[in-house]
A = this chain, B = another copy of it.
Amino acid sequence: MRSRSVPAAVAASPGLPVDVVPIALSVDLVLLTVRDDQLCVLLVRRGIEPFRGRWALPGGFVRPQEDLAEAAVRELAEETGVRRRPAHLEQLATYGAPARDPRGRVVTVAFLALAPLSQAPVAGTDAAASRWAPVAGAGDPPGLAFDHQAILGDGLERARAKFEYSAVATAFCEPEFTVAELRRIYELVWGGRLDPRNFHRKVTGTAGFLVPTGRFTTRDGGRPAELYRRGDAGVLHPAMLRPTARPNP
């Protein structure tokens, strides 16, 4: 049952059993940012078959001596000109359905990245084009290439869930930001409104979430708001639950 006459020439490596079938491994990125008061995802237009001309998540094949996260950052730079490491980068999941790529067996490791727009201005070099697409309606009529629509959905759900119990939302913010700006991020990611007073109480009352700078700004109009920086808190105790996630009443 084990050996199934795979030519030794395609064995992945001399040290491995000859019946090990090599697989192409790629990385794909769900890079999110906030732009024009909308949650946006970075897409690239495919310049080659398959799915030529369709929009897809940025990504590419892993090189022989490259770690996975490293490959993700490199592809991001190559395809979009985004050079700086995103403020937040984490592995999302690995997608390996046998038929997900018509060219052959390609398994992809998806990453979720969050960055403020200023860190990711977008200037593609490799792909035919790249753009920020509002996540509502990303890849609308034809859908994204491959299974990227599903990957995007999983990435969004991961981001929404992580907003509840962690402080990653600050990854979307500039170094200094107001409570209202952070609240707007939450509202865009979760969809819906949050009470400004309760939100303010929560984020300023959670140790390590925000660090006050003592300086103020009026860039949002109205009374001057204090500027904060990210704190060092990774997780929130207790969590901030999204209003929609209330199955009881």
With A9-B9, A237-B247, A241-B238 in contact, do A67 and B97 touch (Cβ < 8 Å)? yes
Q: Using a Cβ–Cβ cut-off of 8 Å, how many residues does chain A contribute to the interface with B? A: 45
**Least Cβ distance of A91 to chain B in Å?**
6
- In the complex, identify which listed stretch (A17-25, A37-45, A175-183) lies at the interface while the others stay far away: A17-25
Instruction: Name which residue of chain B comes closest to A109, CB basis.
Output: B94
Cα distance, A38 to B15, chains bound together (Å): 38
**Least Cβ distance of A93 to chain B in Å?**
6
A198 within 8 A of B: no
Cα distance, A104 to B241, chains bound together (Å): 45
Cα distance, A160 to B40, chains bound together (Å): 33
A107 within 8 A of B: yes
A127 within 8 A of B: no
Instruction: Name which residue of chain B comes closest to A10, CB basis.
Output: B10
Cα distance, A62 to B24, chains bound together (Å): 12
A68 within 8 A of B: yes
A143 within 8 A of B: no
Residues of B within 8 A of A10 (CB): 9-10, 22
* A64 B24 Cβ-Cβ under 8 A: no
* A107 B64 Cβ-Cβ under 8 A: no
A192 within 8 A of B: no
A106 within 8 A of B: yes
Residues of B within 8 A of A19 (CB): 61
Known: A12-B106, A21-B63, A23-B24. 4 other contacts (CB 8 A): A10-B22, A13-B103, A16-B106, A68-B107
Q: Which residues on A are within 8 Å of B, measured CB to CB?
A: 9-10, 12-17, 19-25, 61-68, 91, 93-94, 96-98, 102-107, 109, 207, 237-239, 241, 245-248
Which 8 A-B residue pairs are closest in the complex by CB-CB distance?
A13-B104, A22-B22, A15-B103, A12-B24, A68-B96, A23-B25, A94-B94, A20-B61
